[in-house]
Amino acid sequence: MARKLPPVDVVLVGFGWTGAILAQELTQDGLEVLAIERGGWRDTPSHFPTTVAQDELRWYWRKEMFQTTARETLTFRNNRSQTALPMRRWGSFLPGEGVGGGGVHWNGQTWRFLPSDFLAASHNVERYGPMRPGMTVQDYGVTYEELEPHYDRFEKLCGIAGRAGNLNGEIMEGGNPFEGVRSADYPNPPMHMTFAQHRFEAATKELGLKPFPGPSANMTKPYVNPLGCQLAPCTYCGFCEKYGCGNYSKASAQTTILPVLMRNPNFSLKVHNEVLQVKLDSTGRRATGVVHVDQNGEEYEQPADLVILCAYQLSNTRLMMLSGIGEIYDPATGEGLVGKNYCYQVMSGADVFFDDAYTNEFVGAGALGMCVDEYNGDNFDHSGLGFIGGGYIACWTTHSRPIERRRIPEGTPQWGSAWKKAVADNFLKSTNVGAHGASMAHAANHLDLDPTYTDVYGRPLMRMTFDFTPNDRAMSAFLTERVREIAERMGGREIKLSPREGPYDSMPYQTTHNTGGTIMGASPADSVVNRYLQSWDVPNLFVMGAGVFPQNAGYNPTGTVAALAYWAADAIRSRYIRSPGPLVQA
């Protein structure tokens, strides 16, 4: 029997980026906010100082940075004809665990989506006619213009480095000319580009494209954010994604919010406690709080007026299912919405090998790169192409950690003396051009509860059913050809294409950009949360994170996840607190 605790105003489930943002915002109005995090406390000096952070084996290969699969993982299959089996260790994506969540181990590539990305259904249907059968693409229910101030807030919080491309409607030389109208430039100047980016820049200009610096949460200058938190210049050590930053140089909850939030008497944090369920009253229309369990197996009921899910997309979706909120989507009938529109990211690329030049990619940073955006979203005419969406193409020099990355030319054996020679010859003399493709929603791709496998508490694991769709494949084939055109012009000896072919493989790392499952929209008939990320079914429940994306755009999601968190926090502060209830009438 769960022991009942004194009530709080707001309980946050999970304490990564969105939890920290919500806590910081809602405590400003005097609300008492409690965050419950299943992992442990983590901070820069004690958990990832420079002498500890740069351990490739420990943090990535032994997965110590991530959620412990022994306790909970998910099962996976490509389609409904297969039997899903557990991901016994992480592969294609890497959910975080502990304070700061995945925001501790991200690269820091911090994008805004295009205005048309938020209107992916209406815009594309109007311009190109009906989509392929089975596609379940929807509008977000919120517009770029509405989110713009919130993007701006997050960029200033993080000290994002970049160059504006569209400042108040004026196209700026050297920025991304396709981006939505910005109200302000980035707070910091762009990253310091290296050889590979210079070659990419020259190649894309030759092709008539407009390269620009990738927006980066790696600091390019000493920076004091609006909360007074200080960040230090990035040293380009090449340990960003999959690692904590020991140098206060990568924006995270730890470096941008927690030094202030943890001192706020309205805020408290409970770690090593896992929320098992959102509790509903007898009507099923109101959350009364959450039930959580500590590491000794003791259960507690934490009453709260407002419950906000701030865990990773996969965990938020599963908690909705385990709490019986909404109906789980069934692809056989098309009924149900929770778990619907699971999407990912469609990555492809080309390695470029040089004979006479050293790329020295150990001099790298998570968001050190030059990009082009001509082939993203609806920045190009899709007439006759047979797909919608696109992706940015970039030359990022993120790292050259050698267990993970050893580029070898086409046709090289995978072991033996020929392999060894190829690695030795090419390790310092190669780079990559990558396409970061959108993932459009499809009726066959979804999340639900596994009928067989259970977590450490005996509850069903979540089951993922996913494969790349015909739209994904056509889009990726198109993007990969554009990658080839660029890569071939970079002055290398040869290139090696990595097209996205075959079924989705859950094991090789691709990207931790899982989206959908608790999608947002304009109507309870086709979405789980409304445009303010408020549950249609349970108005005192809000759901943060990329789970609300109806489909994923051709950009990294964190910028949009954070902008949506600020947008929701603003609606809660300005409207919900004064008059609790649905912010949108169904």
Catalytic annotation, residues: 513
Write the burial class of residue 415 (CB in 10 Å: 0-12 exposed, 13-18 middle, 19+ buried).
Answer: exposed
What is the size of the binding site for another protein (CB under 8 A)? 102
- 32 or 241: whose CB is closer to another protein? 32
Residues 93-122 that bind another protein (CB under 8 A): none
Closest approach, Cβ 44 to another protein, in A, equals: 9
> DSSP labels for 250-286?
B--HHHHTHHHHTT-TTEEEE-SEEEEEEEE-TTSSS
User: Closest approach of Cβ 62 to another protein, in Å?
Assistant: 6
CB of 231 to another protein, least distance (A): 15
Give whichever of 54 and 288 is closer to another protein, judged by the CB atom: 54
Residues with Cβ < 8 Å from 386, sequence gap 6 or more?
Answer: 132, 474
Distance CA 553, CA 144 (A): 13
CA distance 558 to 150: 13
Give a three-class secondary structure readout of 126-156.
HHHCCCCCCECCCCCCCCHHHHHHHHHHHHH
Judged by CB under 8 A, the chain residues 552 through 581 that form the site for another protein are none
Q: Which of residues 77-96 bind another protein (CB under 8 A)?
A: 77-78, 82-83, 85-89, 91
Candidates 51, 333, 579, 585; binder of another protein (CB under 8 A) is 51
Per-residue binding letters, 310-349, with another protein (x by CB under 8 A): ----------------------------------------
Query: Nearer to another protein by C-beta: 41 or 128?
Result: 41
Of 86 and 386, nearer to another protein (C-beta) is 86
Question: Which residue's entry shows tokens 């406690």?
Answer: 273
Cα–Cα dist 509/422, whole Å: 23
Minimal distance, residue 387 CB to another protein, in Å: 23
CA dihedral 586, 114, 397, 188 (to 10 degrees): -100
Find the angle CA(19)-CA(20)-CA(22) to the nearest 5 degrees: 65
Determine if 412 is a binding residue for another protein (CB under 8 A).
no
Q: Which residues lie below 8 Å from residue 354, measured CB to CB, with a gap of 6+?
A: 429, 430, 431, 491, 492, 493
| Positions 262 through 281 that interact with another protein (CB under 8 A) | 262-263, 265-273
Q: Does 406 bind another protein (CB under 8 A)?
A: yes
Which among 13, 158, 97 has a CA at the least distance from the CA of 563?
Answer: 158
Using rule CB under 8 A, residue 201 touches another protein? no
Measured between alpha carbons, how far is residue 565 from residues 151, 501, 551 in Å?
10, 35, 17
Q: How far is the CB of 85 from another protein (least distance, A)?
A: 5
Site string for another protein, 13-32 (x = CB under 8 A): -------------------x
- Selected binder of another protein within 2, 52, 184, 291 (CB under 8 A): 52
Query: Which lies closer to another protein via its Cβ, residue 4 or residue 285?
Result: 4
Residues 423-452 that bind another protein (CB under 8 A): 423-424, 427-428, 452
* Cβ distance to another protein smaller for residue 50 or 143: 50
Q: Which is nearer to another protein, 38 or 436 (CB)?
A: 38
User: What residues from 55 to 74 belong to the interface with another protein (CB under 8 A)?
Assistant: 55-58, 61-64, 68-70, 72-73
Closer Cβ to another protein, 428 or 474, answer by number:
428
- Interacting stretch for another protein, rule CB under 8 A, among 4-12, 180-188, 544-552, 558-566? 4-12
Is residue 198 a contact residue for another protein (CB under 8 A)?
yes
Pick 55 or 146: Cβ nearer another protein = 55
Whole-Å CA distances, 382 to 330, 377, 435, 478: 31, 10, 17, 11
Q: Which residues of 231-270 are buried (b: 16+ CB within 10 A; e: fewer)?
A: bebbebbbbbbbbbbbbbbbbbbbbbbbebbbeeebbebb
Instruction: Report if residue 489 touches another protein, rule: CB under 8 A.
Output: no
Tell me the window of 168-176, 345-353, 415-423, 439-447 that interacts with another protein (CB under 8 A): 415-423
Closest CB 352 distance from another protein, rounded Å: 12
Among 143, 230, 235, 288, indicate the residue that binds another protein (CB under 8 A): 235
When binding is defined by CB under 8 A, the residue of 96, 211, 213, 238 that contacts another protein is 238
In whole angstroms, give the CA distance from residue 482 to residue 503: 22
Report in angstroms the alpha-carbon separations of 12 from 114, 179, 275, 516: 29, 33, 10, 20
Residue of the chain from 81, 283, 296, 333 that contacts another protein (CB under 8 A): 296
Give dist(CA 70, CA 93) in Å, integer. 16
**SS3 at position 121:** helix
- Closest approach, Cβ 219 to another protein, in A, equals 12
- Strand locations in 281-359 (E): 287-294, 299-309, 346-353
Question: What's the CA gap between 537 and 586, in Å, rounded?
Answer: 10
Residue closer to another protein, measured from CB, 159 or 244? 244
What six digits make up the tokens of 278?
A: 């959102």
The one-letter amino acid at 29: D
Q: Cα dist. 500→94, 139, 351, 467 in Å?
A: 20, 26, 14, 11
Asked whether the beta carbons of 13 and 290 are under 8 A apart, the reply is yes
Of 495-534, binders to another protein (CB under 8 A) are 503-507
Question: Which range of residues in 35-43, 372-380, 438-446, 559-567 is near another protein by CB under 8 A?
Answer: 35-43
Q: Give me the 344-373 binding string for another protein, x by CB under 8 A, dash otherwise.
A: ----------x-xxxxx-xxx---------
Q: Please choose, out of 105-113, 230-238, 320-328, 572-580, the segment that lies near another protein by the rule CB under 8 A.
A: 230-238
**Chain position carrying tokens 């999970």:** 14
Q: How far apart are CA 512 and CA 299, in angstroms?
A: 31
